[in-house]
Each structure stands twice: as structure tokens, then as C-alpha cells.
Amino acid sequence: MAKPTIAGNRTGRKLGQRVKNKKMKASSRQWLQRHINDPYVQRAQLEGYRARAAFKLLEIDEKHSILKGARRIIDLGAAPGSWSQIAAKVTGSTDEDIRVAAIDFLEMTQLPGVKILQLDFLDPSAPAQLIEAVGGTPDLVISDMAAPTTGHHRTDHLRTMHLCEVAAHFAVEVLGEGGHFLAKTFQGGTERDLLNMLKRHFKQVVHVKPASSRAESVEMFLLAKHFKGRQADADVTEA
């Protein structure tokens, strides 16, 4: 995967633009002003990605090579679809040979080579539908899921950590040996039990904060590399 060159403004749009709509709330005006002046937003538009989040995945891959050789990918919390765009490209997925399955409770515009499920990942039927949709054993599970924020830091952290934990257990159930798992989490401490579980099943577990993740954001990403296979469960049970 080519290294994403971020430095500078390559869109031709002038940075430092101000939003002058006085009818908007100050907080909304500040968010919009930051958004339109964000070089990652501008690059996403220039390069055809649906969201700036594409560069988070590309930067993580640049350092950890999780996309190289990926044959089938499951994308959790996929809307609006920038990670799925990358997944379809690296797997060579087509509408005739689907290799990428994406799920979100939000509606997503169709993407070539991606089977999209508009469904809550916590729905009991979701795991089976994802496996059927991807057409085989995935070697990468990626999750950008986050619970809707309440403004209460501890509550938001716990709700998103629950999604991260559910995604991690799903990955352990479906990944092929040697596969990888990447999921959004929040600063504030990953649950020790979750980390211990991942360390039992993967050779390497690290936290990552890519440069394209806004400095003021509390988001981080939990990366588990090189799945040992479900034999690891049997070894723990027999011990």
C-alpha cells in the first residue's frame, strides 16, 4: 500500500476559511469551520474517499502492514464506507466475486465489490450474515464502531469499549490463522480482560493513534496481529 502523503494542501482550496453564518450555533459553526479547513477532509474529497477516516487505516497499514495479502475483509461500523473502499481495492473484490462485507445500522450508498448489511452489529443474526456475505474465512476484521456520544466521558468510554469487546470476540470466532483485528477504542484504559484475551489469541497486541486522528480526539485503535488460530482456545481449556 502506497504511503499516504499528507503534508500540505493538495486540493487547491485555501485553508483558514471562516464560516460567517451567524444563524448557526457557535459550536456548529466551529465544527463546520474546522471540517472545511481540515486537510484530510480535503484530500479525501480529492482522492475519492467517502471520509477522512480512510487515512487512519492507510497510516496504520503503512506501519503495521495489515492490508498486505488480505483476501477477505469484514468491516464493522462501516458507514459512510471509506474503509470498505480500501478493503475492496486491496482484496480485488468485485460484484461477481464478493470479498468484503460491511455492516452498519446507518444506510450506506452501494460500493462496487462490497456486500453491505444495514443492521446493528449487536443483532444476534449479524455474525452469521457477515460470514455468509463475505463468502469465506476473513483474514482481517476492522471496526470503526463507536456508540453515539452522550457528553459524559465515562459513559461514552464504556459504551464504545463494549462494542470493541464484542468485535474482538467476533474476530476470534471467525478469523483465519495469521489474520489481524483492528478496532476503535477510546483513551481512558482498555479493559484488562479484553487485552488478556487478545494476547492469548494473537502474537502482538498494540494501541495505535494515527496522525490523521485529530489531536483533541480521545479515539485510539486497538490492533491485534497474527491470529494464532482457534487451537489456542483448546490449549487454554486443556491446561
Burial of 119 from C-beta contacts in 10 A (0-12 / 13-18 / 19+):
middle
Contact 26, 187 (CB under 8 A): no
How far is the C-alpha of 167 from the C-alpha of 182, rounded, in Å? 9
Phi, psi at 38, each rounded to 5°: -80, 120
How far is the C-alpha of 119 from the C-alpha of 126, rounded, in Å? 7
Residue 48 C-beta-side C-alpha neighbours within 13 Å: 5
Is 184 among the catalytic positions? yes
How far is the C-alpha of 198 from the C-alpha of 205, rounded, in Å? 7
Can you give the three-state secondary structure of 50-83, one letter per residue?
CCCCHHHHHHHHHHHCCCCCCCCEEEECCCCCHH
Dihedral sign from CA coordinates of 180, 181, 186, 188: negative
Single out the catalytic residue among 184, 199, 203, 225.
184
Show which residues are catalytic: 184
